């Protein structure tokens, strides 16, 4: 019987293949009270399980030598090893056994629950989703304790037409499955920043997550159509549907090959307006993908990723090397380093600070100003790297002039300290601010007088404008990038900056969504920054656009508050 499942498409493309069901990783654990004289044995049993898992991860790590996404696999495995060695997991679990005289399985799951509660308090959705890594590590330990096999390989190897269907996938799972050349990944859990999504995008294969019941509803060897563009999975399609999707698949592959030819083409509209297409990156190794897709700069280097998944903060030298590496690889093209955008309950106080409403709490520049020594180390590192390329400093989540003044003062202080030590840097390094709070968008004049450039962070701007927690599934349907208030704020910032001759870019999700490309061009945007894999698709849309045709329709869109009319006008704009 044919049926359709809807989820979240996290990696574009269409795949057709047979389902292969991955074993369910979830394990149920019973609680047992152990005699006092057996407590030591339980602790020893837990230690042995940790050692076994450590060896498993090392063995997996040793298999990563080269090939697609090798860097991602290594990073994920390193993260799991780090979690495994973290005393908040292992030491606390052993203490729990001693205090409660319970079995090792129960102790480790109880400690996992404590860590899960701490992760739930984290504001940043990417960081919050890392709780999945803790679960996956604990499940590996449990499998050893319970004597379960760690891995069941696919029963039948096919030549690239198998679709992996799983409740959830750990990085180690993905690494093990890599040899079978799956044509797509489907999972019940996950989101845009899940490991499955990250790896699928890096491997450039279709993937749909958050399908909720796919693992239960789909049977082994079912024929599946996976539409990563629409987030749709069709199970046991009829011949007519299969033929239709095979045609679409061929067309997409042809388009993909054509897109590669645009890599060195200048992004200019039909009327000759040149548009800069920059890339968003998280780590220095991302620059290779940036160059493969022909970006003309890095519009957003999310430096906070240098601070994550580690016991200690990166020192000045480590940060300097990271920024310098990117600057050198980009060979004179702009590199915009955003100062760390960390939440209040992570890194500094080891997750002990709990904010009632973390989205509105001590994060981003607020945290930087509250921790001036930590901020100074980063500023010195960025400034030192500035002599190796065209580095710019981008300050996140500014809301008032006092924050700008304090930030500029600290930058000057960092510069003076380098001068005193006779350490060279670019004296004219530009400083910009992110516009992601409505208050900043509505008081733009003072921002433009004090800053060299602006970057609109649409993800947070939408969240704060509509009072929608974008990480909360229960209100996710209210997150609307086309809300009239959002569009007017974005257009206002772009036009105000253009009138003042202040460079402005958009680095949020809509910058990489071709649905918005013509609209943003009509607003006057000339600098887009997005995930590297989105660059060529957006470039193609730019090449097809003619500004004189776009402006009248974008004006009409800004004048209407009716959502249906906005959607109709947008469709006309993109026709």
Mode of pairing for the β-strands spanning 162-166 and 184-187: parallel
Lowest mean pLDDT, pick from 139-143, 406-410, 419-423:
139-143
Instruction: Mark out the alpha helices in 182-338 (DSSP H runs).
Output: 195-203, 214-217, 239-260, 287-292, 316-330
Answer yes or no: is pLDDT of 351 > 50. no
**Cα–Cα separations (whole angstroms), residue 79 to 76, 174, 309, 518:** 5, 15, 6, 40
Q: Which residues are catalytic?
A: 195, 507
CA 28 distance to own-chain centroid: 31
For residue 108, pLDDT beyond 80: yes
Same domain? For 139 and 17 the reply is: no
pLDDT at 346: 42
**Kind of pairing, strands 430-435 and 453-456?**
parallel
| Span of 152-161, 218-227, 436-445 with lowest mean pLDDT | 152-161
Rg of the chain over all Cα atoms, to the nearest angstrom: 25
Of 433, 509, 442, 459, the closest CA to residue 359 belongs to 459
Residue 214 falls within a domain, yes or no? yes
Which of 200, 142, 134 is closest to 166 using CA atoms? 200
Say what percent of the chain tops pLDDT 90.
52
Q: Does residue 418 carry a pLDDT above 90?
A: yes
Question: Shortest CA distance to 277 belongs to which of 259, 290, 288?
Answer: 290
Is residue 432 located within the same domain as residue 524? yes
Q: Give the pLDDT of residue 177.
A: 61
Distances (CA, A) of 117 to 87, 110, 123, 170, 351: 17, 11, 13, 20, 11
| Residue 324: predicted pLDDT | 97
- The answer on pLDDT for 172 being more than 80 is no
CA–CA dist 291, 330 (Å, integer): 8
Q: State the average pLDDT over residues 512-521.
A: 95
Q: Tokens standing for 454?
A: 């602006």
Q: Strands (DSSP E) along 430-520, which ranges?
A: 430-435, 453-456, 504-506
pLDDT for 189 equals: 79
CB 379 within 8 A of CB 434: no
Look at residue 62 in the predicted model and tell me its pLDDT.
Answer: 73
The band of 305, judged by pLDDT with boundaries at 50, 70 and 90, is confident
Tokens matching residue 325: 């590496």
For residues 233 and 288, state if they share a domain: no
Q: Which pLDDT value is given to residue 365?
A: 93
302 is in an annotated binding site: yes
Measured CA to CA, the distance from residue 221 to residue 21 in angstroms comes to 8
Q: Quick one: 182 and 75 in the same domain?
A: no
Mean predicted confidence (pLDDT) in 433-455: 96
433 and 378 belong to one structural domain: yes
Look at residue 492 and tell me if it is in a domain: no
Same domain as 408, residue 534: yes
CB 128 within 8 A of CB 119: yes
Mean pLDDT of 3-19: 90
pLDDT at 442: 96
Which range among 159-163, 168-172, 413-417 shows the weakest confidence by mean pLDDT?
Answer: 168-172
Residue 421 pLDDT more than 80?
Answer: yes
| Phi, psi values for residue 254, rounded to 5° | -65, -40
CB–CB of 434/395 below 8 Å? Answer: yes
**99 Cβ neighbours under 8 A, 6+ residues apart:** none
Mean pLDDT value across the chain: 86
pLDDT score of 60 = 75
CATH number at residue 11: 3.50.30.10
Residue 459 annotated as part of some ligand binding site: yes
**Low-confidence winner among 162-176, 278-292, 441-455 (lowest mean pLDDT):** 162-176
Q: What share of the chain is helix, strand, coil (3-state, %, to 5)?
A: 55, 15, 30
When comparing pLDDT for 66 and 295, which is higher? 295
Tokens of 437: 């709070």
Give the integer Cα–Cα distance in Å for 38 and 46: 13
Give the domain CATH number at 105: 1.10.274.10
- 153 falls within a domain: no
Which range has the worst mean pLDDT, 3-17, 108-122, 380-394, 475-489? Answer: 108-122
Alpha carbons 406 and 323: distance in angstroms, whole number? 23
Alpha-carbon span 370 to 275, nearest angstrom: 38
DSSP per position, 362-404: S-HHHHHHHSHHHHHHHHHHHHHHGGGSEEEEEE-S--SHHHH
**Tokens representing residue 450 in the block:** 């004090």
Residue 442 belongs to a domain with what CATH number? 3.20.20.60
**Distance separating alpha carbons of residues 267 and 28, to the nearest angstrom:** 55
Beta-bridge partner residues of 506? 456, 528
The CA distance from 8 to 124, in Å, is 19
Q: Tell me if 460 is assigned to a ligand binding site.
A: yes
Residue 359 has pLDDT above 50, yes or no: yes
Q: Quick check: is 342 in a domain?
A: yes
Domain boundary among 230, 256, 282: 256
Query: Are 289 and 186 within one domain?
Result: no
Residue 50 lies in a domain: yes
Residue 148 pLDDT greater than 90, yes or no: no
In a domain, 496, yes or no: no
Residues 178-198 have a mean pLDDT of 71
Query: Residue 309 — pLDDT band, cuts 50, 70, 90?
Result: low
Order of strands across the sheet with 207-209?
3-6, 232-235, 223-227, 14-21, 162-166, 184-187, 207-209, 8-11
Q: Residues 27-53: pLDDT tens digits?
A: 556 677 888 888 999 999 999 999 988
Is 561 within the bounds of a domain? no
Q: Which of 128-132, 520-524, 534-538 has the lowest mean pLDDT?
A: 128-132
- The neighbour count for residue 561, using CB atoms within 10 Å, is 12
Q: Which of 223-232, 359-368, 379-388, 467-476 has the highest mean pLDDT?
A: 379-388
Total Cβ atoms within 10 A of residue 54:
16
Do residue 190 and residue 278 come from a single domain? Answer: no
For residue 469, how many other CB atoms are within 10 A of its CB?
A: 18
Same-domain check for residues 514 and 385: yes
d(CA 504, CA 445): 14
pLDDT at 412: 97
Residue 63 reports pLDDT greater than 90: no
Express each pLDDT in 229-274 by its tens digit: 899 999 999 999 999 999 999 998 888 888 999 999 999 999 999 9
The pLDDT value given to residue 461: 93
Domain containing residue 178 = 3-22+167-256
Q: Is 446 in the same domain as 540?
A: yes
Q: Is 470 within any annotated ligand binding site?
A: yes
State the angle between helix axes of 39-63 and 131-146 in degrees (0 to 180), rounded to the nearest 10. Answer: 120
Domain count along the chain = 3
Tokens matching residue 443: 């008081």
Q: Is residue 508 part of a domain?
A: yes
Listed ranges 123-132, 176-185, 292-301; the one with the highest mean pLDDT: 292-301
Helix orientation angle between 547-559 and 563-574, rounded to the nearest 10 degrees:
180
Q: How far apart are CA 371 and CA 234, in angstroms?
A: 51
- In a shared domain, residues 311 and 454: yes
> What sign does the dihedral 554-560-563-568 (CA atoms) show?
negative
- Summarised one tens digit per residue, pLDDT across range 462-495 is 989 998 876 565 676 788 899 999 999 999 999 9
Tell me if 174 sits within 8 A of 196, measured CB to CB.
yes
Torsion on CA atoms 494, 497, 500, 503, rounded to nearest 10: -110
Parallel, antiparallel, or unpaired: how do β-strands 14-21 and 223-227 relate?
antiparallel
Among 65-74, 98-107, 337-346, 393-402, the range of highest mean pLDDT: 393-402
Q: Are residues 101 and 248 in the same domain?
A: no
The answer to whether the CB of 448 falls within 8 A of the CB of 502 is yes
Distance of CA 144 to the CA centre of its chain: 32
């Amino acid at each position: 019987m044919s049926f359709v499942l809807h989820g979240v498409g996290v990696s574009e493309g269409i795949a057709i293949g047979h389902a292969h069901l991955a074993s369910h990783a979830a394990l149920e654990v019973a609680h047992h009270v152990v005699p006092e004289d057996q407590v030591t044995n339980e602790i020893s049993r837990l230690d042995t399980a940790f050692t076994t898992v450590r060896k498993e991860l090392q063995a997996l790590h040793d298999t990563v030598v080269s090939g697609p996404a090798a860097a991602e696999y290594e990073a994920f495995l390193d993260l799991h090893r780090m979690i495994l060695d973290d005393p908040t997991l292992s030491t606390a679990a052993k203490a729990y056994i001693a205090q409660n005289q319970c079995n090792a399985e129960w102790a480790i799951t109880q400690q996992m629950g404590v860590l899960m509660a701490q992760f739930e308090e984290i504001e940043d959705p990417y960081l919050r989703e890392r709780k999945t890594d803790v679960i996956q590590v604990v499940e590996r330990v449990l499998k050893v304790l319970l004597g379960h096999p760690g891995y069941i390989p696919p029963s039948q190897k096919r030549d690239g037409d198998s679709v992996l269907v799983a409740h959830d996938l750990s990085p180690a799972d993905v690494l093990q499955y890599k040899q079978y050349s799956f044509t797509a990944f489907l999972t019940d859990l996950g989101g845009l920043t899940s490991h499955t999504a990250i790896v699928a995008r890096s491997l450039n294969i279709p993937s749909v997550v958050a399908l909720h019941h796919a693992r239960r509803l789909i049977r082994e060897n079912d024929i599946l159509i996976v539409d990563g563009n629409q987030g749709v999975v069709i199970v046991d399609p009829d011949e007519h549907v299969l033929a239709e999707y095979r045609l679409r698949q061929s067309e997409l592959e042809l388009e993909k090959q054509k897109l590669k030819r645009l890599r060195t083409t200048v992004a200019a509209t039909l009327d000759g307006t040149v548009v800069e297409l920059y890339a968003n990156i998280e780590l220095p190794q991302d620059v290779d993908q940036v160059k493969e897709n022909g970006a003309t700069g890095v519009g957003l280097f999310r430096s906070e990723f240098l601070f994550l998944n580690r016991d200690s903060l990166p020192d000045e030298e480590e940060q300097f090397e990271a920024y310098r590496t990117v600057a050198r690889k980009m060979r004179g093209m702009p590199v915009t380093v955003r100062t760390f955008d960390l939440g209040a309950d992570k890194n500094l106080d080891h997750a002990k600070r709990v904010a009632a409403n973390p989205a509105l709490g001590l994060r981003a520049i607020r945290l930087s100003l509250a921790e001036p020594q930590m901020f100074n180390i980063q500023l010195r590192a960025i400034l030192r790297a500035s002599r190796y390329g065209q580095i710019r400093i981008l300050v996140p989540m500014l809301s008032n002039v006092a924050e700008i003044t304090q930030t500029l003062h600290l930058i000057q202080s960092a510069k003076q300290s380098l001068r005193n030590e006779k350490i060279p840097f670019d004296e004219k390094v530009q400083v910009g601010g992110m516009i992601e709070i409505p208050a900043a968008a509505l008081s733009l004049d003072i921002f433009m007088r004090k800053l060299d450039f602006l970057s609109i962070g649409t993800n947070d701007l939408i969240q704060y404008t509509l009072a929608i927690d974008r990480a909360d599934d229960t209100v996710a349907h209210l997150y609307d990038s086309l809300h009239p208030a959002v569009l007017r704020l974005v257009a206002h910032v772009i036009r105000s900056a253009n009138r003042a001759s202040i460079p402005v870019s958009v680095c949020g999700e809509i910058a990489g969504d071709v649905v918005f490309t013509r609209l943003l061009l009509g607003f006057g945007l000339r600098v887009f920054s997005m995930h590297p894999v989105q660059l060529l698709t957006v470039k193609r849309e730019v090449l097809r656009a003619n500004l004189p045709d776009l402006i009248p329709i974008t004006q009409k869109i800004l004048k209407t508050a009716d959502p249906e009319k906005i959607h109709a006008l947008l469709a006309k704009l993109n026709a």
